[in-house]
Amino acid sequence: MTPITLKKAISEELKDKEFAILYEKERIINSIACTVVELRQRQGLTQSELAQKAHTTQPVIARLERGSDFRIPSLELLGRIAYALGKEIVIDFKQVSNIKQERYT
């Protein structure tokens, strides 16, 4: 039996449209989580301190940073967090490869 790598397994699964959409959603949630953790830590803030500055609660920040919530954080929440960190949200639409585009059509 030929061993299969994780990269190859994911590549095969991404051929399924529903899987590809859910995978992309998880990638976005994870990216947001990593960015918030990095920015918060860089400024030497605790989750509680960031929550207070962003007018939310520590459990909300913790859930967002874990990336385990199935919901994508609202723009309102992300805007408050960005403002609290002295940042702004930048949304960008990038060209996708033909293979990736086929997954969503």
Mean pLDDT by runs of 10 across the 105 residues of the chain is 86 90 91 97 98 97 91 94 97 75 56
Task: Kindly state the tokens that stand for 89.
Answer: 């949200």
- Name all domains of the chain by residue range, CATH numbers in brackets: 16-103 (1.10.260.40)
Residue 94 confidence (pLDDT):
84
Q: For residue 86, is it left (φ>0), alpha (ψ between -120 and 50) or beta?
A: left
CA–CA separation, 12 vs 6, rounded Å? 10
Predicted structure pTM score: 0.81
- Count of positions (residues) in the chain: 105
Residue with tokens 């909300």: 60
Task: Kindly state the tokens that stand for 64.
Answer: 């967002």
Summarize pLDDT for 27-44 with one digit per residue, the tens: 999 999 999 999 999 999
